[in-house]
Chains A and B, each alone.
Chain A
Amino acid sequence: SQQGEEDPQALSIQEGENATMNCSYKTSINNLQWYRQNSGRGLVHLILIRSNEREKHSGRLRVTLDTSKKSSSLLITASRAADTASYFCATPLIGTDKLIFGTGTRLQVFP
Chain B
Amino acid sequence: ETGVTQTPRHLVMGMTNKKSLKCEQHLGHNAMYWYKQSAKKPLELMFVYNFKEQTENNSVPSRFSPECPNSSHLFLHLHTLQPEDSALYLCASSQGPDSNTGELFFGEGSRLTVL
Contact = CB atoms under 8 A, between A and B. Distances in A.
The size bracket of the interface on A is: 20 to 34
Contact of A97 (B50, B108, B111): B50
B88 interface: yes
B105 interface: yes
Contact of A98 (B6, B48, B103, B111): B48
Nearest to A38: B108
Interface in A27-46: 30-31, 33, 35, 40-45
Contacts of B33: 97, 99
A104 B42 contact: yes
A101 B102 contact: no
Contacts of B56: 96-98
A105 interface: no
Contacts of B50: 97
A7 to B, nearest CB: 14
Given A31-B101, A97-B31, A97-B50, A44 B106 contact: yes
Nearest to A41: B108
Chain A CB within 10 A, most for which of B31, B50, B101, B111: B101
Contacts of A33: 102-103
A103 B109 CA distance: 18
Nearest to A95: B97
B103 A45 contact: yes
B107 interface: yes
Nearest to B48: A97
Give the 8 A-B CB pairs with smallest separation, nearest first: A42-B106, A92-B102, A101-B43, A97-B48, A43-B106, A42-B108, A103-B42, A97-B97
Interface of B: 2, 4, 6, 31, 33, 35, 42-43, 45, 48, 50, 55-56, 58, 88, 90, 92, 94, 96-97, 100-109, 111
14 contacts: A33-B103, A40-B111, A42-B4, A42-B92, A42-B109, A43-B90, A45-B104, A92-B97, A92-B102, A97-B96, A99-B33, A99-B45, A99-B104, A100-B45
